[in-house]
Amino acid sequence: MWRRRSKMAKLQQQAEASPPLRTRPLAASLILLIGIGAIALGIGLSIAVGVADITLGTVWDALVRFDGGNNHHQIIQSLRLPRALAGALVGAAFAVSGALIQGMTRNPIADTGLLGVNAGAGFAVVLVFAFIPWLPFAYIIMFSFIGAGLGVALVYGIAYFSRGGMTPLKLVLAGAVVGSLVSGLSQAISLLFQINYDLAFWSAGGISTADWFQVSVMLPWIVAGLTCALILSRSVTILSLGEDVAAGLGQRTKLVKGLGAAIVMVLTGASVATVGGVGFIGLIVPHIVRYLVGVDYRWIIPCSAVLGAVLVLLADIGAKMIAVPYETPLGSIIAVLGVPFFLYLARRERREL
């Protein structure tokens, strides 16, 4: 009993001696205000840009004075608007998932794509397309949740039971191995069962197939996940200071990690089921947000959601404009930004070690 009290007292002293959090509430408030406006503008531009040339005025008319006999209005309401909304939702979900993972693991190069979460969710969806293709999307998204959870468990299991224990570098290496294995199996299954072009485009990160039904199914899951992430944000901030400090402050670290993992599974599973495995959003956005607003996750999470939505909307506009009349997969465009960013972070972390 005396030893336990002594240990708790030592942890409490460490917690009290830890440096104060560096936060910039004014910068965060400006990012949220400007970002929300950027999301609205990005949705309008995403709707206007495409094979059919549509002006922003026509977009506004279609939203406030819909005319069922107008072809442009039909294109906007049935195709482009749900696509833009899906892009904003998955951008926010991927970015917040990355922020949660980085905060809980204290791993600055963590991301759902790099840690096998996207690959696990995508593999589950490919199995559904191959063996039970008639399954409604509302059930496909459930399989995506399961696949995301299995991907996380496999990556963490490999890193944890490796010699020397789990480190940030081992997590990334395990994620790369698991992601490559699962992606290879997914491609083999798609070739064996001759799954059509839509799946190939989806697996590369295609958002063009999103429709109102998919948006209606994914919306409550992503809104619930983002809400829970905001509620958990204070605990993630404390956990990001280190498990010893968090324990000294009385936090139940295993419970926080479990809840955070569940939120990541929901956000990632819903996103992958809709647009495929788009990586690097959860790597790029949280780093930019931390640089701008500090290390308090009560600001990092909402700002990451806003900037993640903006990033995907801009990338989707680029996907429509690069090779007209064809579309470039969304995942390819973001990877062009994400790979150099990851290499920069990896090199910086190596120097610091």
Asked if the model's pLDDT at residue 243 lies above 80, the reply is no
- With 50 as the cut, is the pLDDT of residue 16 above it? no
| φ, ψ for residue 23, nearest 5 deg | -135, 155
Tens of pLDDT, residues 97-118: 999 988 888 877 778 877 778 8
132 three-state secondary structure: coil
Per-residue pLDDT tens for 311-351?
Answer: 999 998 988 888 777 777 787 788 888 778 777 776 765 55
- Which of 108-122, 183-197, 234-248 is least confident? 183-197
Query: Which stretches does DSSP call E strand in the chain?
Result: none
- In order of their start, the domains of the chain are 21-64+74-352 (1.10.3470.10)
pLDDT at 82 exceeding the cut of 50: yes
CA distance 20 to 26: 17
DSSP letter at 294? Answer: B
Q: Are 54 and 48 in contact (CB under 8 A)?
A: yes
Q: At what angle do helices 297-321 and 212-239 cross, to 10 degrees?
A: 140
Mean pLDDT score, 36-59 = 87
Which pLDDT value is given to residue 293?
Answer: 92
**pTM, to two decimals:** 0.85
DSSP 327: -
Q: What are phi and psi of 7, to 5 degrees?
A: -65, -45
Percent of the chain clearing pLDDT 70 (strictly above):
87
Residue 17: predicted pLDDT: 46
Q: Quick one: CA torsion of 33, 35, 40, 41, rounded to 10 degrees?
A: 120
**CA–CA gap between residue 154 and residue 10 (Å, rounded):** 35
Half-sphere exposure of 50 (CA within 13 A, CB side): 20
Count of positions (residues) in the chain: 353
d(CA 313, CA 319): 10
- Rounded CA-CA distance 353/345 in Å is 12
pLDDT over 70 (residue 231): yes
**Model confidence pLDDT, tens digit, residues 146-176:** 888 888 888 878 877 777 666 666 777 788 7
Check pLDDT > 70 for residue 25: yes
Q: Where are the beta strands (DSSP E) in 59-208?
A: none
What is the rounded CA–CA span in Å between residue 30 and residue 136? 41
Longest dimension (CA), the chain: 80
Give pLDDT, residue 18.
45
